[in-house]
Amino acid sequence: MERAAALRFSAPGSLLLVVMLGGSAPLSAQFTVVGPTDAVLAMAGENTKFHCHLSPEKDAEHMEVRWFRSQFSLAVLVYKAGRERTEEQMEEYQGRTTFVSEHINKGSVALIIHNVTAHDNGIYHCYFQEGRSYDEAVMHLMVAKSFVPSTFPWMVSLAAVLPSLLLFSAGSICLVRKLHRGKEVENEAKEVACEEPEKEQVEKEKERQIREQLQEELRKCAMPGGSPCYSVLCWATHWLLQLTSLFPLQTGDDPCYMLVSTLDMPSGFKPCPQASQQGTLEVTNRGLGSLHQLVHSAIREFPQLLKDAVAYFPLSSCLE
Task: Grade residue 251 by pLDDT with cuts at 50, 70 and 90.
Answer: very low
DSSP 265: -
Whole-number mean pLDDT of the chain?
70
297 with 249: CB under 8 angstroms?
A: no
Residue range 25-63, pLDDT digits in tens: 555 558 999 999 999 999 999 999 999 999 999 999 999
pLDDT of the residue at 142: 94
pLDDT at residue 179 tops 60: yes
Is 64 strand, coil or helix? strand
Determine the number of helices (DSSP H) and then strands (DSSP E) in the chain.
6, 11
For residue 259, which of 229, 223, 216 has the smallest C-alpha distance?
A: 229
pLDDT of the residue at 242: 54
**Which residues are CB-neighbours of 262 under 8 A, at least 6 positions away?**
303, 304, 306
What span, in angstroms and rounded, lies between the C-alpha atoms of 43 and 115? 9
pLDDT at residue 218 tops 80: no
Burial of 1-11, coded b for 16+ CB within 10 Å and e otherwise, reads eeeeeeeeeee
For residue 45, which of 96, 97, 115 has the smallest C-alpha distance?
A: 115
Residue 198 Rama label (left phi>0; alpha psi -120 to 50; beta): alpha
Cis peptide leading into residue 12 (ω within 30°): no
- State which of 83-87, 143-147, 163-167, 298-302 shows the largest mean pLDDT: 83-87
Task: Grade residue 205 by pLDDT with cuts at 50, 70 and 90.
Answer: confident
**Average pLDDT of the segment spanning 146-159:** 60
Residue range 53-95, pLDDT digits in tens: 999 999 999 999 999 998 998 899 999 988 999 999 999 999 9
Pairwise pLDDT comparison (290 vs 306), residue with the higher score: 306
128 with 54: CB under 8 angstroms?
A: yes
**Average pLDDT of the segment spanning 173-197:** 80
pLDDT of the residue at 231: 53
pLDDT of the residue at 121: 94
